[in-house]
Amino acid sequence: MTFHKLQPRESLNKAFLKVKPNRNDIEHFKKNLQSLIEKINEVESEEFHKNLIGDFLKNTYYGGNHFINTKGRNDFVIHNGKDAKSSVGVILEAKKPTNKGEMLKVDNLNTKAFQELVLYFLREVPEYKPEYINITAIVDQILTAKKSDPKADTTALETEIDQLVYQLYELTAEEIKIIEG
> For 51-81, what is each residue's pLDDT tens digit?
999 999 999 988 788 999 888 888 889 998 9
Predicted TM-score of the model (pTM): 0.61
C-beta separation of 82 from 37 below 8 A = no
Domain ranges of the chain: 8-124, 130-180
Average pLDDT in the 104-120 region? 82
CA distance 9 to 167: 26
Q: Please enumerate in sequence order all residues whose Cβ is within 8 A of that of 46, keeping only pairs 6 or more positions apart, or say none.
A: 75, 94, 95, 96, 99
CA distance 159 to 153: 12
Show contacts of 16-21: CB within 8 Å, 24+ apart.
16/179, 16/181, 17/181, 18/180, 18/181, 19/178, 19/181
Q: What pLDDT is stored for residue 1 in this prediction?
A: 43
User: Which range (52-56, 161-165, 177-181) has the least confidence?
Assistant: 177-181
CA distance 41 to 37: 9
C-beta separation of 116 from 124 below 8 A = no
The amino acid that residue 7 corresponds to is Q
